[in-house]
């Protein structure tokens, strides 16, 4: 596949579009988990181990619960309403009882009854290893000496309140009392003791309140009895002094006045009724013929019959008049009969009117007579009004004192009854029993929390490591950050497979650096050699677009492996039969010349200075046929960039281009010096070496942005010294599986 570099803006745009999708976000998180998997496993394992240590060292706790309900119906079966006026039980009342259960009064009563100050669980250390450690630490800071009874009680109270739970179940009147202890039987015993202490406290509170109310009622009853007797005696004495006779609870003149007043009301109603009948009859007389409703209302058979005859004749007259004309004898006769009937109806109505008028006059006369009698009775009653006012006042006082006396006497009897009934509104509906299963620590919950917390902590640590990891580790980072192709990933080299190396290059058998420079020759089927071949393929494919005969290998910083790559690439190409020359153009630090040609007296600098010919300073490797041009004498050079940018240097490269198929230049790093930038006019493609896991992204990006001429001719980036075992977590297709599966059978897997 032909590899062509994308512009940086296009690469950034592609990644920006991909980053917004949910699938890309999920994939990025999965990649983080895969890369940081060992760290996450270690953190999660540590959390689980801590949780297991806690479960093994913590003392098991048991919780027992008792249920109590507040119900007034049980009390109402035995007694009337309380003297103290018990309020209706509502939500606030239940919450108040919950707070009473939590009060120190109840807690201290239980501690006192069960002698909990002598229990080591309440007066000593907590259970388990953690409790022993905390007790030891507390003992170091506490004052020496035996604790007093008050201090023991307060300490026991603190432990008691910590282990006790009281809550209301939903919106019901049921309260749940729970207690947690290391001893299950003790937990049940204390929970039941709390309920009993609450009931006893309620009984005691009611008894004390009722007893105080009874004492007060006795004194008040004596006083009211004396006042009621004096008031009744005053009423009797007043009636005797004023000759007031009481009949059925009422005075005589009052009874007469009420009777006359009742008669007057009836007479007035009768007069109004007679007046209404007379007025209605006057209205009826104004009509020619009363309608059917009026006739029925009067209930007069004569008028009803006459009206029926009148209506029948009127119908016949209308028919004859329409048939024979209004002047026909039959029609005229009918009209005459109708007039006679009308006259008879009018006479009957007048008779009824006279009867109604007579009734009205009688009613008016009777009403006037009753009014006269009422006036006489009123005048008589006015004579005793002053006496009646005083009498009513005396009677009212007597009734009030008597009512108060009866009421207080009843309350006193109720209070006596309440003292004899030991009943409260609260009752236990479910007593606490010995729990069979521990309530804490909950193993599954703690392990689940440890796993969840460990995963969250490990994921946070993984994200922190990812955010702080500003180095190159994947091909995607190179393509996204630099806008260039990653043409090869070179694994970190270990000891070579062959220990016996020889040749004309002056290598020593025990020199590891020299062994690395010939690695592709000595280990042709290794992963490293295969990665260098992929770089060679990229060079050949890119030659379709532009000529790639002069290749420059550079890096950001020293010791990133550019010299090793350039040497192995040149040897690989030369071993394949091509004419290749390797030029050490790192005039600041010619490490390649020191490793391959340590005895060379002349080199590149001498050729550029026209002090030597190329043929005289080039060395040939007999095994691969690779031509090597050393750097030469560089110790006295101050401006190496001027040497590399000079016309003789360009002429030399042109000469080498004509004599060799490939010219490989080992260039200095870009960050310390500017030598690489001046070589862009005569270099066809640059190969940029980045050390896996060490080279900073921002440093490489800064160098390439400041050297656009290098970026434009960049063939690709090589990730060097990659740890294949870790690489599998960053890019699985570049990991150990990809290499080892197909090369382990040859015995060259490092």
Mean pLDDT of 588-605: 86
* Integer CA distances (angstroms), 348 to 289, 304, 340, 538, in order: 12, 11, 13, 139
Summarize pLDDT for 7-21 with one digit per residue, the tens: 444 434 444 444 456
Residue 123 vs residue 732, higher pLDDT: 123
The predicted pLDDT at position 748 comes to 35
The predicted pLDDT at position 599 comes to 83
Which residues have CB under 8 Å from 132's CB, separation 6+?
A: 125, 126
Are 538 and 3 in contact by the 8 Å Cβ rule? The answer is yes
Are 219 and 226 in contact by the 8 Å Cβ rule? The answer is no
Residue 699 vs residue 245, higher pLDDT: 699
Place 741 in a pLDDT band, splitting at 50, 70 and 90.
very low
Nearest 5°: the CA angle 465, 466, 470 is 100
User: pLDDT above 90 covers what percent of the chain?
Assistant: 18
The predicted pLDDT at position 62 comes to 92
Place 588 in a pLDDT band, splitting at 50, 70 and 90.
confident
- Peptide bond before 441: cis, by omega within 30 degrees of 0? yes
- Relative to beta strand 550-555, strand 685-691 is parallel
Give the closest residue to 551 by CA, choosing from 688, 729, 355, 397: 688
- Residue 74 clears pLDDT 60, i.e. is over it: no
The predicted pLDDT at position 663 comes to 93
Place 244 in a pLDDT band, splitting at 50, 70 and 90.
low
- Residue 553 clears pLDDT 90, i.e. is over it: yes
Mean pLDDT of 168-191: 92
- Residue 319 clears pLDDT 50, i.e. is over it: yes
- Residue 85 clears pLDDT 80, i.e. is over it: no
Nearest 5°: the CA angle 17, 20, 26 is 120
- Residue 343 clears pLDDT 50, i.e. is over it: yes
- Residue 168 clears pLDDT 70, i.e. is over it: yes
The predicted pLDDT at position 21 comes to 67
User: pLDDT above 70 covers what percent of the chain?
Assistant: 80
The predicted pLDDT at position 289 comes to 65
Place 298 in a pLDDT band, splitting at 50, 70 and 90.
low
- Residue 84 clears pLDDT 60, i.e. is over it: no
Mean pLDDT of 408-421: 71
User: Which of 76-80, 269-273, 484-488, 692-696 is the least confident region?
Assistant: 76-80
The predicted pLDDT at position 245 comes to 62
User: Which of 182-186, 208-212, 451-455, 564-568 is the least confident region?
Assistant: 208-212
Which residues have CB under 8 Å from 732's CB, separation 6+?
A: 34, 738
Are 731 and 475 in contact by the 8 Å Cβ rule? The answer is yes
The predicted pLDDT at position 468 comes to 79
The predicted pLDDT at position 491 comes to 87
- Relative to beta strand 62-70, strand 426-430 is antiparallel
- Residue 132 clears pLDDT 60, i.e. is over it: no
What is the rounded CA–CA span in Å between residue 449 and residue 447?
A: 5
Place 581 in a pLDDT band, splitting at 50, 70 and 90.
very high
Burial of 444 by CB count in 10 Å (0-12 exposed, 13-18 middle, 19+ buried)?
A: exposed
Beta bridge partners of 552: 665, 686
The predicted pLDDT at position 738 comes to 43
- Residue 178 clears pLDDT 80, i.e. is over it: yes
pTM of structure: 0.52
The predicted pLDDT at position 382 comes to 66
- Residue 654 clears pLDDT 50, i.e. is over it: yes
- Average pLDDT score, the chain: 79
The predicted pLDDT at position 196 comes to 93
- Relative to beta strand 486-491, strand 164-168 is unpaired
Place 206 in a pLDDT band, splitting at 50, 70 and 90.
confident
Summarize pLDDT for 476-534 with one digit per residue, the tens: 888 888 888 888 888 887 654 333 333 334 344 445 555 788 888 888 888 888 888 88
Mean pLDDT of 142-154: 74
Q: Exposed e or buried b for every residue in 46-75, given b needs 16+ CB within 10 A?
A: ebbeebeeeeeebbebbbbbbbbbbbeeeb
- Residue 455 clears pLDDT 50, i.e. is over it: yes
- Residue 263 clears pLDDT 60, i.e. is over it: yes
Give the closest residue to 686 by CA, choosing from 566, 557, 591, 604: 566
The predicted pLDDT at position 498 comes to 36
The predicted pLDDT at position 502 comes to 36
Mean pLDDT of 319-335: 82
């Amino acid at each position: 596949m032909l590899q062509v570099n994308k512009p940086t803006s296009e690469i950034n745009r592609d990644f920006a579009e991909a980053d917004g999708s949910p699938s890309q976000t999920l994939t990025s998180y999965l990649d983080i988990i895969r890369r940081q998997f060992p760290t996450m496993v270690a953190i999660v394992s540590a959390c689980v181990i801590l949780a297991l240590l806690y479960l093994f060292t913590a003392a098991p706790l048991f919780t027992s619960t008792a249920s109590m309900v507040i119900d007034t119906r049980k009390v109402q079966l035995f007694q009337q309403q309380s003297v103290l006026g018990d309020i209706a039980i509502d939500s606030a009342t239940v919450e108040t009882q919950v707070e009473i259960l939590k009060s120190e009064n109840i807690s201290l009563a239980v501690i006192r009854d069960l002698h909990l100050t002598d229990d080591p669980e309440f007066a000593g250390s907590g259970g388990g290893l953690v409790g022993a450690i905390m007790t030891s630490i507390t003992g170091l800071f506490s004052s020496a000496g035996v604790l007093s009874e008050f201090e023991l009680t307060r300490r026991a109270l603190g432990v008691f309140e910590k282990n006790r739970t009281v809550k209301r179940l939903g919106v019901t009147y049921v309260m749940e009392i729970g207690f947690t202890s290391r001893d299950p039987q003790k937990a049940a015993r204390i929970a039941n003791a709390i309920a009993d202490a609450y009931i006893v406290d309620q009984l005691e509170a009611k008894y004390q309140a009722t007893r105080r109310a009874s004492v007060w009622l006795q004194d008040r009853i004596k006083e009211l009895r004396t006042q009621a007797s004096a008031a009744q005696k005053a009423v009797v004495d007043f009636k005797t002094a004023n000759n007031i006779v009481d009949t059925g609870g009422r005075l005589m003149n009052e009874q007469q006045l009420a009777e006359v007043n009742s008669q007057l009301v009836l007479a007035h109603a009768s007069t109004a009724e007679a007046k209404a009948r007379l007025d209605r009859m006057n209205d009826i007389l104004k009509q020619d013929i009363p309608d059917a409703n009026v006739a029925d209302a009067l209930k007069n058979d004569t008028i009803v019959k006459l009206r029926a005859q009148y209506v029948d004749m009127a119908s016949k007259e209308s028919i004859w008049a329409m048939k024979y004309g209004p002047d026909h004898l039959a029609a005229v006769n009918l009209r005459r009969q109708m007039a006679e009937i009308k006259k008879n109806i009018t006479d009957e109505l007048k008779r009824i009117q006279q009867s109604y008028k007579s009734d009205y006059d009688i009613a008016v006369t009777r009403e006037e007579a009753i009014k006269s009698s009422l006036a006489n009775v009123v005048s008589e009653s006015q004579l005793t009004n002053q006496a009646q006012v005083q009498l009513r006042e005396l009677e009212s006082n007597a009734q009030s004192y008597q009512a108060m006396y009866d009421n207080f006497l009843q309350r006193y009897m109720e209070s006596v009854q309440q003292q004899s009934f030991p009943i409260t509104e609260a009752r236990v509906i479910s007593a606490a029993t010995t729990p069979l299963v521990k309530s804490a620590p909950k193993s599954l919950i703690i392990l689940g929390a440890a796993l969840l917390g460990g995963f969250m902590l490990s994921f946070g640590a993984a994200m922190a490591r990812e955010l702080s990891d500003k180095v190159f580790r994947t091909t995607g980072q190179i393509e996204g950050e630099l806008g260039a192709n990653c043409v090869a990933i070179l694994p970190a080299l270990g000891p070579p497979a062959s220990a016996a190396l020889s040749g004309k290059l002056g290598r020593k058998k025990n020199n590891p650096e020299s062994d690395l420079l010939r690695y592709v020759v000595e280990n042709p089927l290794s992963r490293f050699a295969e990665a260098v071949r992929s770089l060679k393929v990229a060079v050949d494919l890119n030659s379709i677009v532009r000529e790639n005969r002069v290749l420059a290998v550079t890096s950001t910083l020293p010791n990133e492996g550019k010299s090793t790559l350039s040497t192995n690439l040149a040897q690989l190409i030369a071993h394949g039969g091509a004419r290749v020359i390797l030029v050490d153009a790192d005039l600041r630090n010619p490490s390649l010349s020191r490793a391959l040609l340590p005895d060379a007296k002349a080199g590149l600098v001498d050729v550029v200075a026209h002090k030597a010919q190329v043929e005289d300073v080039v060395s040939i490797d007999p095994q691969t046929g690779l031509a090597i041009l050393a750097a030469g004498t560089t110790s006295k050079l101050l401006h190496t960039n001027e040497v590399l940018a000079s016309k003789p240097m360009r002429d030399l490269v042109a000469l080498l281009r004509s004599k060799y198929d490939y010219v490989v230049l080992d260039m200095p790093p870009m960050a310390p010096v500017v030598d690489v930038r001046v070589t862009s006019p005569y270099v066809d493609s640059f190969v940029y070496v980045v050390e896996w896991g060490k080279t900073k992204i921002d440093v490489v990006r800064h160098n390439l942005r400041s050297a656009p001429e290098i970026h434009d001719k960049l063939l690709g980036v090589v990730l060097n010294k990659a740890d294949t075992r870790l690489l599998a977590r960053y890019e699985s297709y570049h990991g150990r599986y990809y290499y080892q599966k197909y090369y382990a059978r040859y015995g060259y897997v490092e």
